[in-house]
Structure 1
Amino acid sequence: MHIIHTIAEMRSWRKQAKRVALVPTMGNLHEGHLSLVRTAKAYADSVVVSIFVNRIQFGAGEDFDKYPRTLEQDAEKLKAAGADAVFAPDESELYPNGVQSYFVEPPAIQNELCGRSRPGHFRGVATIVTKLFNIVQPDVACFGKKDYQQLAVIKGMVQDLNMNVEIIPVEIERAQTGLALSSRNGYLSAQEQVQAAQLFAQLQNIADAIKLGNTNFSALENSAATYLQQNGWQVDYIEIRQAQMLAKAQISDKNLVILAAAILGTTRLIDNIEVNLSH
């Protein structure tokens, strides 16, 4: 497995490769990331995993400085998972001018859901993913469904900007409790790890109610939010949306996604569950 730190070396490696899949990450890898790698291997001859903690997608007061940097351990996991190359540039390589002057600006969805409390986040994500696509020139790229809004933004960007990359969505990996695997779970105390399962449980309750014919979406959202708040959570949002472009859900919609973000202790967790009513 090659560990590559410069754009020039990455491009040189790419010329020798055939069909390439890219898995963009910020490192501190867990089983969820490794499932992306295993999926990617089914779609390409070679898998590149990028590891870069991207400053421009972090807001003021977020955890950029304390975000774990664990390249050595990450590389061991990726080698075992069958990755062919790791692209781990430093900031001066990707941002040679010290700042980014040109950005990829997503549409209005960037200011909804997670974007309401994280202004500029999805602009930062869209910009770094575009840079990685330009550098690696992958045929396919794998993104986890846990970051559902991010996935929607990336899919829309690729389509709108005529990028020649196939986006492969990968299912959420969960702990036995139902908690979605996340690098930020490491910030949770042992007690919070147990309590964190409440988030998915509430999404599951909403999904079950919708499948049974409950179309009072706002009441379902409010009930789940109230339960979490009464159990010590700070709820950012719980919303039922159309699955494709995340527009507000209508009663007639058949493909829905229930999305949530909430803070437990000092840790912000996100999760979602899809509901397909067309079967």
Structure 2
Amino acid sequence: MEVFKTIKSLQQSLSLKDDHLTLGLVPTMGALHEGHLSIVRRAKEENNLVVVSIFVNPTQFDKKEDLINYPSTIDADLEALESLGCDYVFTPTVEEVYQGDTRSEAFSFDGLDSVMEGKHRQGHFDGVATIVKKLFQITKPDKAYFGEKDYQQLLIIKKMVDLESIPIVIVPVQIYREIDGLAMSSRNTRLTENQRNAAPEIYQTLLKSKKIFNNNDLDSVKSFVKNEFIQNKDLQLEYFEVADTESLRIATEILPHKKYRGFIAVFAGSIRLIDNIALN
């Protein structure tokens, strides 16, 4: 496994690979857990070579304290990636990536960015698309892999690829969960014992909402989820939305032949957790 800190050194090494070998990219911000590693394994299965980027991207944080508090476990990350047979790791500095101009590009996502995470985190998706576009330009992979936990982000990246006419296949990877159902996240390590014990309620509520969705009307589903968190002292609901799987338009009624997902954001103290589920 080769580790690179500069764009030039990474590109020089990538240029030496045979043209017929496929390259998969897994963008991460480090603090790797089994969820990340499941994505790397998928990329290894489907490509001859895999590059993993570890870069905490400042332009996608709407709150400075979240950027400051983002965990860094670089030694453990590299050890885990080496054990999986990762070929290249890219660990640049902010200066290396942004060259002194730490600003986001402005994109038009046709409303994909105006709901849920986009509504609650201003500028977040412009920051995400900016760094992912840069990583695509640097590495020129055949495929790039993204977890469905950040489902809205996944659709945003697909849209950016279409807008920019980037010749790359975006591969979604299923949410990787703890045994108790909590979606794996680097933020989980910051939960107190009480918060960690309470957090599986998020997924349990999503599972129950799926059953109600298939038997009742939309208002019943939303009321159920809201009521589940009213009495919970450890978890505070920020939002629960039912949206069209492809357009992310918030559902006002359930239409036949449409696919829907339930999206949720919950605070455990100051720590924000998100999850989602296919409803039909």
On whether the aligned pair clears a TM of 0.5, the verdict is yes
Matched, 1:14 2:11: no
SS in 1 for 2:109: coil
Whole-Å separation in 2 of the counterparts to 1:246 and 1:26: 25
Unmatched runs of 5 consecutive residues or more in structure 1: none
User: Which residue in the other structure is 1:76 paired with?
Assistant: 79
User: Which residue in the other structure is 1:237 paired with?
Assistant: 239
Asked if the contact 1:106–1:126 (Cα under 8 Å) also holds between the matched residues in 2, the reply is no
Q: Return closer, same or farther for 1:101/1:261 CA change in 2, 3 Å cut-off.
A: closer
Whole-Å separation in 2 of the counterparts to 1:157 and 1:218: 33
Asked if the contact 2:149–2:175 (Cα under 8 Å) also holds between the matched residues in 1, the reply is yes
Shift of 1:220: 0.9
SS in 2 for 1:110: coil
Structure-to-structure mapping, 1:182-193, within 5 angstroms:
182-193=185-196
SS in 2 for 1:261: strand
User: Which residue in the other structure is 1:261 paired with?
Assistant: 265
SS in 2 for 1:205: helix
Shift of 1:231: 0.5
Matched, 1:151 2:154: yes
User: Which residue in the other structure is 1:204 paired with?
Assistant: 207
User: Which residue in the other structure is 1:220 paired with?
Assistant: 221
Whole-Å separation in 2 of the counterparts to 1:52 and 1:145: 20
Q: Return closer, same or farther for 1:101/1:205 CA change in 2, 3 Å cut-off.
A: closer
Shift of 1:96: 0.9
User: Segments of 4+ in structure 1 off by > 6 A?
Assistant: none
Asked if the contact 1:258–1:273 (Cα under 8 Å) also holds between the matched residues in 2, the reply is yes
Shift of 1:115: 1.3
Shift of 1:56: 0.3
Shift of 1:223: 1.8
Shift of 1:265: 1.6
Q: What amino acid maps onto 1:100 in structure 2?
A: R
Q: TM-score, normalised by structure 2?
A: 0.93
User: Which residue in the other structure is 1:67 paired with?
Assistant: 70
Shift of 1:105: 4.4
Structure-to-structure mapping, 1:125-164, within 5 angstroms:
125-164=128-167
Q: Return closer, same or farther for 1:209/1:219 CA change in 2, 3 Å cut-off.
A: closer
SS in 1 for 2:27: strand
Asked if the contact 1:38–1:82 (Cα under 8 Å) also holds between the matched residues in 2, the reply is no
Whole-Å separation in 1 of the counterparts to 2:203 and 2:274: 9
User: Which residue in the other structure is 1:3 paired with?
Assistant: 3
Asked if the contact 1:228–1:234 (Cα under 8 Å) also holds between the matched residues in 2, the reply is yes
SS in 1 for 2:176: coil
Asked if the contact 1:238–1:261 (Cα under 8 Å) also holds between the matched residues in 2, the reply is yes
Asked if the contact 1:122–1:153 (Cα under 8 Å) also holds between the matched residues in 2, the reply is yes
Asked if the contact 2:60–2:125 (Cα under 8 Å) also holds between the matched residues in 1, the reply is yes
Whole-Å separation in 2 of the counterparts to 1:271 and 1:168: 19
Unmatched runs of 5 consecutive residues or more in structure 2: none
Shift of 1:62: 4.0
Whole-Å separation in 1 of the counterparts to 2:70 and 2:264: 22
How big is each residue's C-alpha offset from its partner over 1:96-118, in whole Å with a ceiling of 9 and x where there is no partner?
12423644443322121011111
Q: What amino acid maps onto 1:264 in structure 2?
A: A
Whole-Å separation in 2 of the counterparts to 1:254 and 1:122: 25
Q: TM-score, normalised by structure 1?
A: 0.94
Whole-Å separation in 2 of the counterparts to 1:246 and 1:13: 39
How big is each residue's C-alpha offset from its partner over 1:167-208, in whole Å with a ceiling of 9 and x where there is no partner?
110001111111000000011112211100011111111111
Asked if the contact 2:212–2:220 (Cα under 8 Å) also holds between the matched residues in 1, the reply is no
RMSD: 1.4
Asked if the contact 2:23–2:49 (Cα under 8 Å) also holds between the matched residues in 1, the reply is yes
The answer to which of 78-87 and 219-228 deviates more is: 219-228
How big is each residue's C-alpha offset from its partner over 1:61-117, in whole Å with a ceiling of 9 and x where there is no partner?
441011112111100001112211100100110011242364444332212101111
SS in 1 for 2:246: coil
